Amino acid sequence: MEGKLIIFSAPSGSGKTTIVRHLLNTNDNLGFSISACTRDRRGRAEQNGKDYYFLTPDEFKEKIDNDEFVEWEEVYVGAFYGTLKSEIERVWASGKHVLFDVDVQGGLKLKKYYGDRALAVFVKVPDEETLRQRLIGRNTETEDSLSKRLFKVHFEMSFQNQFDVILVNDELEDSYQKSQKLIDDFLQKNVVPAKGAEI
C-alpha cells in the first residue's frame, strides 16, 4: 500500500479538529499525525506525544537545523509548529494513511511536498460571527488574542482556493458525511475535486 495523506487545514475555530477526531474514530485505516510545537499546553488535558510533541524553542530549532521537518512555521512570535518527517513515516509504517490537523500554511506546504499523494481540505465556517462565537466559547482567548486570531483568519481565508476542496462547516453531521465521502473517493478511486471546489 502506498501511503497517502489527508490534510485538514483551517483558521482557528472552524471545527477542523472536531471533524478530524470524528474521522479518526470511524476510520481504522487513518492514523493521526501529531504536530510538534513550542507553545504551552492548554490545561491538563493535552499530553506530550498524543496531542502534540511539546518542544522547547531550542529543541525545535535544532530539529529545523537537522532538516527533521517536512514543514514548520513560526505561527506567532516564539510559537513554532511543524510536522516531523519521522511522524509521517511512523503512521505509514503502521499500515495507515496519514490524517493531518494543521494550520493553513502547513497544509499548503504538505500538499506541495507530497503532491498527488495528498488531499488538502480547507475547512471554513459560514460567516465571521459564527467563528467569533466559537473562539469566545473556548474560554481560552483574551480580547487581545481574539483580535489577533481574527486578523489571522482574514489572512488565512485568502489561501482557501489553493486547497483541493473547501468544506463549509455549517452543520457538523453534514460536514462529517462530506469529509468521509472526500476521503473514500480519494483513497479508493484517487478522485480529487476541482481545485478550490466548495462543498
Express each pLDDT in 4-24 by its tens digit: 999 999 987 788 999 999 999
Computed over every residue of the chain, the mean pLDDT equals 87
pLDDT one-digit tens code per residue, 18-59: 999 999 999 999 999 999 999 776 666 778 888 889 999 999
Residue 18 near residue 26, CB atoms below 8 Å: no
Annotated binding-site residues read 10-17
Q: Are 192 and 119 in contact (CB under 8 A)?
A: yes
147 backbone dihedrals φ, ψ, rounded to 5°: -60, -45
What domains can be seen in the chain, in order of their start residue? 5-198 (3.40.50.300)
User: Residue 194 pLDDT more than 80?
Assistant: no
pLDDT for position 152: 77
Beta pairing class for 165-168 and 197-198: parallel
Question: How long is the chain?
Answer: 199
- Which pTM was predicted? 0.84
Of 163 and 51, the structure prediction assigns the larger pLDDT to 163
Alpha-carbon Rg for the chain in angstroms? 16
As annotated, the binding site for ATP includes 10-17
CB 8 within 8 A of CB 106: no
Report percent pLDDT > 70 for the chain.
Answer: 88
* Spatial contact of 3 and 92, defined as CB atoms under 8 Å apart: yes
Per-residue pLDDT tens over the stretch 121-136 = 999 987 777 666 766 7
* pLDDT at site 78: 84
Angle at alpha carbon of residue 32, lines to 58 and 55, rounded to 5°: 10
Q: Which of 76-80, 127-131, 147-151 holds the top average pLDDT?
A: 76-80
Task: Give the C-alpha separation, 36 to 189, whole Å.
Answer: 32
**Residue 176 pLDDT greater than 80, yes or no:** yes
Q: Among residues 146, 108, 82, which one has the least CA distance to residue 5?
A: 108
- Helix (H) / strand (E) containing 168: strand 165-168
pLDDT at residue 15, rounded to an integer: 85
pLDDT score for 144: 75
